[in-house]
Homo-oligomer: A and B are copies of this chain.
């Protein structure tokens, strides 16, 4: 069996993913409450809002207020997502966010049109423009993302070679501006991945670009999230996006059911039980997951918050 990594890093995206996807209005104060609670779980990277058109994503209309309202914890980088210049300017204007560039291409043209209202050529042009703007302002651009890397609800299957090609394109775009990307996120935006396709796509990218760090962004819509993360661990992947309680989903991805990201505390549970360090406090994350359910007002997909952690159970058994 392949050796598992000793330690992984988790980027928490629950607030951004969740608040963009939930249908009912959530009071700004409660969004802030969740973020501030997450700030004390050991996480050092929390994506809290997106700066997008409030007519298209009403749940993010209060993005600036959310950012202004949090109580930043030392050592935590709070980030936002943007898809165009206007969003970037809004993020910078908050003055409170960790700003870093992210190049992005989509393996699905249909998804790109729905999510960003751009053709592939427009998206490539936008990446060049984005790098110029960001680097002029001294913002680092070190990361890229392949959206819909494992399949698309509108365009169907994605061959691994297409993901390799898009990765190469982004590396080339960056290189034209004298930049070497350090990491590439492979996003299973629409939950098409299985452990086998994780192996194949990750393997293809690793083979071609052995120095590039790969990050997995997984969704659990079809129940494969944790198994896919395990396949990622076996491939040596040490960085994962995740969402507390399994919050989230892209509003333009055509998801059915619970569209959320792979669940942070379930991923932490698996890792800790397998001896892989996450640096996170599982019990505190479980409390956050329960808070998230209270805030959204309906059950969320996470399992460990319902089934209970084993560490707590072991402590109880020892004490008995």
Contacts and interface: CB of A to CB of B under 8 A. Distances in A.
Interface of A: 1-2, 4, 151, 153-157, 191-192, 194-197, 199, 220-224, 226-227, 229-231, 234, 255-259, 263, 266, 269-270, 273-275, 299, 301-308, 310, 313-314, 317
B307 A221 contact: yes
A237 to B, nearest CB: 14
How many copies, total? Answer: 2
Contact of A303 (B1, B223, B231, B317): B223
A270 B199 contact: no
Contact of A224 (B2, B226, B259, B308): B226
A269 to B, nearest CB: 6
14 contacts: A4-B196, A156-B313, A191-B307, A194-B274, A195-B270, A197-B274, A222-B308, A223-B266, A223-B302, A227-B229, A227-B270, A230-B231, A257-B303, A258-B307
Contacts of A4: 196
B313 A153 contact: yes
Contacts of A195: 230, 270, 274
A234 B306 contact: no
A306 B256 contact: yes
Contacts of A302: 223
B192 A274 contact: no
B314 A273 contact: no
A223 B151 contact: no
Nearest to A274: B196
A197 B1 CA distance: 12
A222 B155 contact: no
Given A192-B310, A223-B269, 6 more contacts: A151-B310, A156-B313, A223-B266, A223-B270, A223-B302, A223-B304
Nearest to A255: B307
Contacts of A314: 156-157
Contact of A223 (B157, B197, B263): B263
A197 B274 CA distance: 8
Nearest to A304: B222
A154 B128 CA distance: 59
Contacts of A308: 222, 256-257
6 nearest A-B residue pairs (beta carbon): A257-B306, A223-B303, A221-B307, A227-B227, A196-B274, A223-B266
A222 B303 CA distance: 5
Contacts of A259: 307
